[in-house]
Amino acid sequence: MITWFKDGKAIAKRYVWEIVMAAHDIFIKEESLVDVEIPEGVTCDVIGDVHGQFYDVLHLYKLTGPPSEKHFVLMNGDLVDRGSWSIEVILLAFAYKWLYPEYMYINRGNHEAKDMNRTYGFEGEAKHKHGEQAYKLFAHVFTTMPLATLLSASKPPSSKNAAILSPDGRRRFFIVHGGLFSKDGVTLDDIRKLDRVGRQPGQEGLMCELLWTDPQEMPGRGPSKRGVGIAFGPDVTKSWCTLNGVTGVIRSHEVRQNGYEIEHDGLCTTVFSAPNYVDQSGNKGAFIRIDAEGNREYTQFDAVPHPPMKPMAYLQGGLSSLMMM
């Protein structure tokens, strides 16, 4: 399938439906917060936004390696929109999820949503390549995707430091596309119990905030530059991590020129995996590798050439100026 896609070909519609329905049957059994433990001798790579940049995703998978028994992959939302190969990206990710459900994990992003897909290209691309019914199927399956992942080390850390640990002394990371909340006291169980299936993120509430919020340098909470969600400060992050025994929050949702940025006194890390975003940002991409002790390693990479197709080619009017969404 990868070779077929690289050659600019589309797979038959019946295969598209089979892959998407297979992913659906796995997602629907997962909770809104998925618990993943990294066994000894295993690593897990956390990948941020890739936004339909298929050729960069292929390069990224060469760096990470495919999902396997010794190597987990966690994609942290915004697989689609903007880039004009969103179908290829999402089908590849869903195929890996079908093949390796215990090694491949995918969180929902704010772009796995109907209103964003209409505005930023995925709806037009899906209909152009595989028809309206295929788009409707994708739109529903997006609502079954988990909202966050709790990634736990299986071994206590060998280096003793001041990190916040789980109740049993292990590092664990809350992986979510957007970030934290407009109110204090939200627990991991509150997130687990969210009823997500068939629902869009909306403009408020926990699901919206999980997919839309951003960190800010100032303490406390502030308005979002996006007009949706909020901005949360380092004190909010520390309080939430302490309450829930979480070593750190890993989130995506924003371009970082170096591909990643460690913020909030090390408790919040942003990772973004679409290099030279929409062919004009000039940023690096990055991913984070986490081992069985919860140690983190950061890898940066540059964009690779792709066929001559502009971002959002399937959207009438072309590239939107609303870059921050």
Q: Is residue 322 part of a domain?
A: no
- pLDDT of res. 320: 44
- pLDDT of res. 323: 44
Per-residue pLDDT tens, the chain, 325 aa: give them. Answer: 999 999 999 999 999 999 999 999 999 999 999 999 999 999 999 999 999 999 999 999 999 999 999 999 999 999 999 999 999 999 999 999 999 999 999 999 999 999 999 999 999 999 999 999 999 999 999 999 999 999 999 999 987 776 898 988 999 999 999 999 999 999 999 999 999 999 999 999 999 999 999 999 999 999 999 999 999 999 999 999 999 999 999 999 999 999 999 999 999 999 999 999 999 999 999 999 999 999 999 999 999 999 999 999 998 654 443 444 5
67-76 per-residue burial string, b: 16 or more CB within 10 A, e: under 16: beeebbbbbb
- pLDDT of res. 321: 39
Q: Is residue 66 part of a domain?
A: yes
Q: Which two tokens stand for residue 219?
A: 């303490």
Q: Is residue 306 part of a domain?
A: no
* Size of the chain, expressed as the number of residues it contains: 325
Q: Is residue 325 part of a domain?
A: no
Cα 224 from Cα 230, distance rounded (Å): 4
Our count of domains for the chain comes to 1
- pLDDT of res. 315: 84
Which of 125, 119, 147 lies closest to 138 in space, CA to CA? 125
Q: Is residue 16 part of a domain?
A: yes
- pLDDT of res. 163: 83
Contacts of residue 13, defined as CB under 8 A and 6 or more positions apart, other chains included, come to 130, 131, 134
* Enclosing domain of residue 121: 12-301
Q: Is residue 216 part of a domain?
A: yes
Catalytic residues: 111
Cα 25 from Cα 185, distance rounded (Å): 32
Q: Is residue 93 part of a domain?
A: yes
Cα 267 from Cα 271, distance rounded (Å): 13
Q: What is the CATH number of the domain that holds 61?
A: 3.60.21.10
Contact yes or no for 309/71 (Cβ under 8 A): no
Q: Is residue 3 part of a domain?
A: no
